[in-house]
Amino acid sequence: MFSAAEAEQLILTLVQPTDTVETINLANVSSCLGRVLAEPVTSALDFPHWDNSAMDGYAVRASDVQRSPVTLQIVEEIPAGKLPQKSIEPGQAARILTGAMMPAGADTVVMQEETEQQGDRVTILQTAQSGSAAGSFVRQRGSFYRAGGELLRAGQVISPAEIALLAAAQQTQVQVYQRPRVAIISTGSELVRPDQSLQPGQIVDSNQYALTALVAQTGAIPVPLGIISDQRSAVKEAITAAMSQADLVISSGGVSVGDYDYVDQVLADLGATLHIRAVAVKPGKPLTVATLAVANRHQLYFGLPGNPASAMVGFWRFVAPAIAKLSGQPGPWSPDFVWATATTELRAGGQRETYLWGQLVAGATGYEFGQSAGSHSSGNLVNLANTTGLGVVPQGDHQIAIGQSVRVLKVG
């Protein structure tokens, strides 16, 4: 068996990042969120676009306010968006509001709390305390960004902050990598859909829904293909169809050593190279990772266990990083691990690296992690709800005591 770290490293070497690019329009904000920039973004604008005031106050010449109090003549009021009409001469000031363009001749803003206005005169009261150095409370043109430079790098994931920046830069169309399509198959003759009547011995297929949600959460496009019965011909047909319409395929079930576990056999029949058959983790020991030549590229296949907790842990640990790299995101692609203080005792058998689901919270002195109450059976979905972290008990260890440090994989 591969260790978790060895399996992750091998999987990531197998992933070929997408090179398919498309143009998206900023007007459709929801279609931009989570997309990955395929090329750097530049702007023809300086940021700020011009010298402007960082405060409500008065635009003055620094040389006029080196002593206090001093009274100046107000020659203009400049709200945001208005082009200044006058140049500030010695002994003069302009009333200015936050974001407004600085008038010619002025190089400093005195905040209004340090002034007193009477008619067309303003008295600067506290320049000694505020300093009134040239440039105070003035945002200089180009001090944030110079036109023509790299504004956003290729590989940047577009979040609300990036959308705001693109809008401000008047970049209404950008090039992004096409979102990978991920096919999802559930195998098992015992499975039924949630809307079907449940008969004795049958199991509701929750994995199709969980994996669809997890794929969507990564920003990829889930392609749920439903339930496939435990018949070799049916499994072969389903895998072949999935490979033809997706960039990556995930199946759940059928990868153990049972009489009806056909996934590995079918992949071999199709000429796939099976790189991983099992990993030393709990839950989720059965894990198939294979590549299959499709349309002049090696397509990646993940066969996850059928037990719900095992399937989700396998996705969080191994599949999500692969999708991140496939999507064009820059590395590192490894899962997000943090160190936390255990607030409950964590126990494991020691033979495999064990992942215990629970709640990761930010405490007063750092992260804290508590294991969810109840059975940690790989078939138990009930206490998997509300999971925000997976506490890791290393292979060879049997216990992490309350108060000790635990490595936690952030999820959700």
Structure-block tokens of residue 396: 């060879």
Q: Strand 92-96 and strand 52-53: pairing?
A: unpaired
Report d(CA 386, CA 96) in Å as an integer: 51
Please report the sign of the dihedral spanned by the C-alpha atoms of residue 370, residue 376, residue 379, residue 383.
Answer: negative
The ranges of the chain annotated as CATH 3.40.980.10 are 4-16+179-326
| 179-183, 312-316, 363-367, range with the lowest pLDDT | 363-367
In this prediction the pTM is: 0.88
Task: Give, as one character, the DSSP assignment of residue 141.
Answer: T
Superfamily of domain 52-139: Molybdopterin biosynthesis moea protein, domain 3. (2.170.190.11)
Superfamily of domain 337-410: MoeA, C-terminal, domain IV (2.40.340.10)
The ranges of the chain annotated as CATH 3.90.105.10 are 21-42+147-177
Task: Please write the tens of the pLDDT for every residue from 222-265.
Answer: 999 999 999 999 999 999 999 999 999 999 998 876 766 789 99
pLDDT at 131: 47
Q: Strand 248-252 and strand 297-304: pairing?
A: parallel
Task: Please write the tens of the pLDDT for every residue from 39-57.
Answer: 999 999 999 999 999 999 9
CATH class as words, domain 4-16+179-326 = alpha beta
Answer yes or no: is pLDDT of 361 > 70: yes
Work out the number of other CB atoms within 10 angstroms of the CB of residue 198.
10
Question: DSSP string of 149-172?
Answer: SEEE-TT-B--HHHHHHHHHTT--
- State the average pLDDT over residues 59-81: 94
Task: Please write the tens of the pLDDT for every residue from 2-19.
Answer: 999 999 999 999 999 999
